[in-house]
Amino acid sequence: MTPECGSRKLAGMSAEENVVGVVDGVALVGYDALLAQMSAAFPELGAAEVEHVALREWEAVTGGRPHVVPSSLIAGIREVLEGAVQRHASGGRQTA
């Protein structure tokens, strides 16, 4: 590791300091805070590149499966599933 990389790490985000919660044993940090910290630690890179790297690494670490979702998602999922149940009950026919 170069001294520059080491200083960036020290100036950057500490996972323990920025954990906002733990879900299913996974420590979570806020995405906006993550991007702000990484952008500040790597000012020579644009925000779009920092976010691209963050999304790529998120995909690699999680396999694309979210650990948390907005609670507002519950109502939308319920609506879609209720429609699916109605379609199954009607033999797959669309109901009005």
Are 39 and 84 found together in one domain?
A: no
Q: Note whether 14 and 43 are same-domain residues.
A: yes
Residue 83 confidence class, pLDDT cut points 50, 70, 90: very high
What does the pLDDT read at residue 75? 94
Q: How far apart are CA 87 and CA 25, in angstroms?
A: 37
* 56, 9: one domain: yes
Report pLDDT for 15. Answer: 60
Q: What is the pLDDT of residues 8-53, one digit of tens each?
A: 443 455 566 788 889 888 889 999 999 999 999 999 999 999 999 9
Q: Contact 47/32 with Cβ under 8 angstroms?
A: no
Write down the pLDDT at residue 37: 92
Taking the model in full, what pTM does it have? 0.64
Q: Is the same domain home to 47 and 75?
A: no
Residue 96: predicted pLDDT: 56
